[in-house]
Amino acid sequence: MDTNPTPSPLPALPAATAQALASVTTATLTTVLLKKGLRNCWVRHARPLRPDAPRMVGRAFTLRFVPMREDLATPASWGHPISTRAAIEAMPAGCIAVVDAMGVTDAGIFGDILCARMARRGVAALVTDGVVRDLAGVRGTGLPVWCQGTAAPASVAGLTFVGWQQPIACGGVAVFPDDVVVLDGDGAVLIPQALVDEVVDAAVEQERLEGWIMREVEAGTPLPGLYPPDAANKARYEAWVRSQTGGAR
């Protein structure tokens, strides 16, 4: 198995950044990221376990599973230093646990006890391209979960846990520790750490523009020239922004 050095604490996500990202949809974020050349940032198969799941924002804390190795994936291995239990104890409050389960759907990576401990430690949410086990129990912990569904078999029935805070693939997306994850009803989007500030600025502006366009649509304005806006509608939008911000941009 891999060895995991003691991880350094994740840098806190600035409150203003978290607040701004909590105000935009994942659909807006994928559009902004596409404009910056990133096409593969939406985690496939990760859906909210509860339809009323709140929008979540946090830094990625990564975990990785590989195909089962019978000599390693046994109940006796649960207390090993390289275990999901040890990884959970290393998770800082506010992080989003992102788990590479290789898309396996016949073995649940976490159940109610592990999710309860994550919730108790202040973990913001769990995201995986796999499944969890004990649906009622996991929901009862209050931990927001995005996954591919549920299954009764334990993770050791099909997967072996090998490490945390390493680069992983989750739902076909490359995820590195400290990347930023945004979750909503449409799924999970990964923002590379180096692009967070510029993505936030562009996403907030995109949401404001689309909100204005929606109000115009509701007022009966035809779509041609409005969406996307032509020069005349851009000027109208800019005038509206100035009226809302006292001239500031």
Is pLDDT of 96 > 60? Answer: yes
For residues 134 and 225, state if they share a domain. no
SS3 for 28-83, per residue? HHHHHHHHCCCCCCEECCCEECCCCCCCEEEEEEEEEEEECCCCCCCHHHHHCCCC
Q: Which residue has the tokens 């490490």?
A: 163
Residues 47 and 125 in one domain: yes
**Predicted pLDDT at 245:** 82
- Whether residues 187 and 217 share a domain: the answer is no
Q: Which of 10, 60, 77, 3 is nearest to 176 (CA)?
A: 60
Q: Tell me, what's the pLDDT at 11?
A: 67
Preceding omega of 228 cis (within 30 degrees of 0): yes
The whole domain housing 206 covers 198-245
- Cα within 13 Å of Cα(154), Cβ side: 11
Rounded CA gap, 192 and 18, in Å?
A: 14
The pLDDT of residue 1: 44
Question: What per-residue confidence (pLDDT) applies to 12?
Answer: 76
Same domain, 128 and 225: no
Summarised one tens digit per residue, pLDDT across range 200-223 is 999 999 999 999 999 999 999 999
**Stretch 70-88: mean pLDDT, rounded?**
72
Question: Is residue 228 located within the same domain as residue 166?
Answer: no
Q: Average pLDDT in the 108-115 region?
A: 96
Hey, which residues does 58 pair with through a beta bridge? 181
Higher pLDDT, 197 or 5: 197
What is the model's pLDDT at position 44? 97
Query: Mind listing the pLDDT tens digit for each residue in 120-167?
Result: 999 999 999 999 999 999 999 999 999 999 999 988 889 999 999 999
Do 126 and 210 lie in a common domain? no
Average pLDDT, the chain: 91
**Of all residues in the chain, what percent carry a pLDDT higher than 90?**
82
Kindly state whether residues 82 and 126 are assigned to the same domain.
yes
**Domain count for the chain:** 2
Give the pLDDT score at 178: 92
Structural tokens at position 118: 């994550």
Residues 65 and 168 in one domain: yes
Q: What angle do CA 7, 10, 14 make, to 5 degrees?
A: 175
Among 176, 191, 206, the domain boundary falls at: 191
Q: Are 202 and 226 within one domain?
A: yes
Report percent pLDDT > 70 for the chain.
Answer: 91
Q: What is the pTM of this model?
A: 0.89
pLDDT at 61 over 90: yes
- Statement to judge: residues 97 and 135 lie in one domain: yes
What integer pLDDT is reported at residue 155 of this predicted model? 85
Do 89 and 184 fall into the same domain?
Answer: yes
Q: Are residues 140 and 204 in the same domain?
A: no
